[in-house]
Structure 1
Amino acid sequence: MIATDNPCQSCGACCSYSSNWPRFTVEDDDALDLIPEKFVNDRLSGMRCDGDRCTALTGKVGISTACGVYAVRPEVCRTCMPGDPECGMARRRFGLPELAAGSAGPE
């Protein structure tokens, strides 16, 4: 396992893991209205994806990434934490080493 200061900015695997993952669950309409329409899927149920990759993700997975809607990202994106089981699953898919649980990450 590895630990870095900003593991999410050099990863992006969770945002490229599944077109079904960045879905809306507990957001209210006001919160969802803040996400630019071009990033919301046609069913209005989650983030728009290109294949398995969220269209709000920029950069190269495992190298350097950023979220184009970070300040208004959905709750599912806010709750994914570096080193948690979902993080590990996504990182394994891209051949990236798992992070130590509790690694520094987004707040």
Structure 2
Amino acid sequence: MAANDTKAAESSPCQSCGACCSYSENWPRFTVEDDDQLDLIPEQFVNARLSGMRCVGDRCAALSGEIGVATRCDVYAVRPEVCRTCMPGDAECAMARRRHGLPVI
């Protein structure tokens, strides 16, 4: 993980949440990534259709930890664009936090 990505991950409110990574078995889907970018994501985290991240139930397979307590993305440095654009406090964040009974930030 690059130094800037490490600092961002460690200081993010996402580190104590993870709700956006665990609310739909159909998300996150790949959008603008090219093959070179997708090749950086370890195969065990990509779904069988190669259309998005593999999920276990409603939870992204790359998410480690306990929702609402402490989480981390095991592919943070190479996460897909859809994950990069989900921001703390945006509409997707609020929806996911509500689904898990967490307060909206």
CA–CA distance in structure 2, aligned partners of residues 25 and 7 of structure 1:
25
In proportion to residue count, which structure has more helix? 2
Q: Which runs of 4+ in 1 moved over 6 A?
A: none
SS at match of 1:96: coil
Aligned to 2:54: 48
The gaps in structure 1 that reach 5 residues or longer are 100-107
Structure of higher RCO (CA pairs closer than 8 Å, 6+ residues apart) = 1
Q: Residue 20 of structure 1: CA displacement?
A: 1.0
Write the deviation string for residues 51-103 of structure 1: whole angstroms up to 9, x where unpaired.
0000000000000000000000000000000000000000000000000xxxx
Aligned to 2:71: 65
Match of 1:6 among 8, 12, 20: 12
Aligned to 1:29: 35
The gaps in structure 2 that reach 5 residues or longer are 1-10
Using the size of structure 2 for normalisation, the TM-score is 0.89
Using the size of structure 1 for normalisation, the TM-score is 0.87
Aligned to 1:105: none
Q: Which amino acid aligns with 1:15?
A: C
Aligned to 2:7: none
Q: Which amino acid aligns with 1:87?
A: C
Q: Percent identity?
A: 79
